[in-house]
Chain A
Amino acid sequence: EVQLLESGGGLVQPGGSLRLSCAASGFTFSNYAMSWVRQAPGKGLEWVSGISSIGGTYHADSVKGRFTISRDNSKSTLYLQVDSLRAEDTAVYYCAKDGGYMDVWGKGTTVTVSS
């Protein structure tokens, strides 16, 4: 079964950091681009960051310079390092298999930025 499982979310103070992880199974992880998409409480979906199968990275302007996407193909795991967190980064963060359209999604991990 194709599956993505996120972890690493939590409550963090403004200015703090977290590392989100996404463990993939059921498909050849190294062959696919991957993305992180977030959803603030009561709001719509926002693409945050993407990484190609060969490691090229892309970030939304809203997180550029603060978030870093990476992958470890030997562990079939996607990461998102989130630094300098702001209240507006509070959201559920989903990882997704990215062929342009996103056909496999994890259940999400919640990041709450609050003092």
Chain B
Amino acid sequence: DIQMTQSPSTLSASVGDRVTITCRASQSLSSWLAWYQQKPGKAPKLLIYKASSLESGVPARFSGSGSGTEFTLTISSLQPDDFATYYCQQYNSYGWTFGQGTKVEIK
């Protein structure tokens, strides 16, 4: 199975900050990577697919980049609604795997 490693595990930030989360894969994914946002007690919500494609309805302050084994999710200006946990997920090789999550907390 492909292993996914996110960093950091926790991130403290303020409203308006630029936030970057990194996801590394144990082998090349090409661009077959997605990002999700999850709030407590809720299902995950798709933000980004194919590494950099923004899901319909997701605010443009979210962006994704990268290919191969290293990817980033960037929130350009953190909003109160963005405090949540974020997961990356590979879909290059069946047996989809997720990163362990990055919790974005209020500083």
Once the chains are docked, how many angstroms separate the CA of A108 from the CA of B1?
25
Nearest B residue to A45, CB-CB: B98
Q: B interface, how many residues as a size bin? A: 20 to 34
With contacts defined as CB atoms under 8 Å apart, how many contacts are there between chain A and chain B in the complex?
Answer: 55
B19 at interface, CB cutoff 8 A? no
A7 to nearest B CB, angstroms?
15
Q: A interface, how many residues as a size bin? A: 10 to 19
Contact of A102 with B34 in the complex, beta carbons under 8 Å: yes
B97 at interface, CB cutoff 8 A? yes
Contact of B98 with A103 in the complex, beta carbons under 8 Å: no
The one of B50, B55, B101 in contact with A44, judged by C-beta atoms closer than 8 angstroms, is B101
B1 to nearest A CB, angstroms?
8
Prevailing SS type, chain A contact patch: strand
Q: Mark B32-64, 1 if CB is under 8 A from A, else 0.
A: 101010100011111001100001000000000
Contact of A50 with B94 in the complex, beta carbons under 8 Å: yes
A78 to nearest B CB, angstroms?
15
Once the chains are docked, how many angstroms separate the CA of A60 from the CA of B98?
13
Residues in chain A near residue B49, CB distance under 8 A? 100-101, 103
The verdict on A50 contacting B43 (CB below 8 Å), with A44-B87, A100-B32, A101-B34 known, is no
Residues in chain B near residue A90, CB distance under 8 A? none
B80 at interface, CB cutoff 8 A? no
The verdict on A108 contacting B43 (CB below 8 Å), with A101-B34, A101-B91 known, is yes
Q: Mark B46-90, 1 if CB is under 8 A from A, else 0.
A: 100110000100000000000000000000000000000001010
Residues in chain B near residue A102, CB distance under 8 A? 34, 36, 44, 46, 89
Contact of B43 with A106 in the complex, beta carbons under 8 Å: yes
A107 at interface, CB cutoff 8 A? yes
Once the chains are docked, how many angstroms separate the CA of A30 from the CA of B79?
38
A46 at interface, CB cutoff 8 A? yes
Shortest 9 CB-CB contacts between residues of A and residues of B: A100-B91, A101-B34, A105-B43, A101-B49, A47-B96, A45-B98, A44-B101, A103-B46, A44-B100
Binding site for B on A (CB under 8 A): 35, 37, 44-47, 50, 58, 60-61, 94, 100-103, 105-108
